[in-house]
Amino acid sequence: MRPKLVVGNWKMNGSREFTASLLSGILEGLDGNAAACAVCVPFPYLYQCEQLLAGSAIAWGAQDVSCQPSGAYTGEVCAAMLAEFGCRYVIVGHSERRAYHGESNELVARKAGAVLAAGLTPIVCVGETLAQREAGETAAVVGAQLDAVLELLGKDAVGRFVLSYEPVWAIGSGKTATPAMAQEVHAQLRAQLRACNAEGAEKVQILYGGSMKPENAGDLMAQPDIDGGLIGGAALKAADFLGIIRAAGPRI
Ligand code: PGA
């Protein structure tokens, strides 16, 4: 059995005060044998995470990264900088980056490569829009998104990144994919990983994201290929985030 992983994606929310109070709320409520968890916070709060979470069971990370290692890229942050602040995870290819910043499958793959090169773990997001689902294109869309990563990084990378299936229509909308709908896509992604690297594929944690809450998390994570969650809105309240971590069961 793969260990479960619950990751909070805070998006562009928070303040120093909010970060301190949310993290202390999570730390206080976290059981000793809780499933693995992490928070992906805005860049300015990474130092605060390092101060407050070092030595705890909560890992931390960023929500985006440059595909470049260093240089004249105004406004960008490279993976080595994130490593310096103790990050373990970096989300790449979130649908909000793809939609609002025009990130292509190829750019997302390069970002995942930059994260791996810095010794961190990319959380690669894939997912279809409502129009794509209604047109029967889900398998092709998420397949192409994953393919770009496999093509660039090769089979040795399989098992070194986390994948997250996030149907765009379910993000922040209150509409969750049913466990069966999500499992169907997760199984397809696993098959695609297996075709590239059969052994590595069994290790890849495939998270589900899109309106996951304490009430629906248990049923989603009970599916054989759903290995955790990438949580937006519900990660901003300690009680909800803790409820989802509990639904993931004990750490294995
Ligand atoms: P949501 O966001 O949980 O608020 O739907 C998930 C995500 O975008 O990662």
Residue 44: inside a domain: yes
Instruction: Taking residues 8-22, report their average pLDDT.
Output: 98
Q: Provide DSSP, 81-142.
A: HHHHTT--EEEES-HHHHHHH---HHHHHHHHHHHHHTT-EEEEEE---HHHHHTT-HHHHH
Residue 104: inside a domain: yes
Residue 99: inside a domain: yes
Residue 252: inside a domain: no
Residue 187: inside a domain: yes
How far apart are the C-alpha atoms of 167 and 17, rounded to whole Å? 32
Residue 67: phi and psi, rounded to 5, are -85, -5
In terms of residues, how long is the chain? 252
Instruction: Taking residues 120-145, report their average pLDDT.
Output: 97
The domain that contains 148 carries what CATH number?
A: 3.20.20.70
Per-residue pLDDT tens over the stretch 162-177? 999 999 999 888 888 8
Residue 232: inside a domain: yes
CB 187 within 8 A of CB 222: no
**Best of 64, 89, 171, 236 to mutate for ligand 1, by most ligand atoms within 8 A of CB?**
171
- Collapsing DSSP to helix, strand or coil, 6 comes out as strand
| Ligand 1 atom nearest residue 171's Cα | 5
Domain count, the chain: 1
pLDDT at residue 25 in the model:
98
Per-residue pLDDT tens over the stretch 73-125? 999 999 999 999 999 999 999 999 999 999 999 999 999 999 999 999 999 99
Per-residue pLDDT tens over the stretch 151-208? 999 999 999 999 999 999 998 888 888 999 999 999 999 999 999 999 999 999 999 9
Strand partners, 125: 164
Closest CA to ligand 1's atom 6: 232
Query: CB-hemisphere CA count at 13 Å for 221?
Result: 30
Q: What's this model's pTM, rounded to 2 decimal places?
A: 0.98
CA of 166 to the centre of ligand 1 (A): 8
Residue 68: inside a domain: yes
Residues near 191 by beta carbon (within 8 Å), at least 6 away in sequence: none
**Which H helix or E strand runs over 57?**
none
Ligand 1 neighbours by CB, cut-off 6 Å:
9, 166, 171-172, 209-212, 230-234
Burial class (CB in 10 A: 0-12, 13-18, 19+), 49: buried
pLDDT at residue 172 in the model:
86
pLDDT at residue 173 in the model:
86
Closest CA to ligand 1's atom 1: 232
Active site (annotated) includes residue 94: yes
CA of 170 to the centre of ligand 1 (A): 8
Domain span at residue 58?
A: 5-247
pLDDT at residue 98 in the model:
98
Average pLDDT, the chain: 97
CA of 153 to the centre of ligand 1 (A): 26
- Collapsing DSSP to helix, strand or coil, 23 comes out as helix
CB 150 within 8 A of CB 158: yes
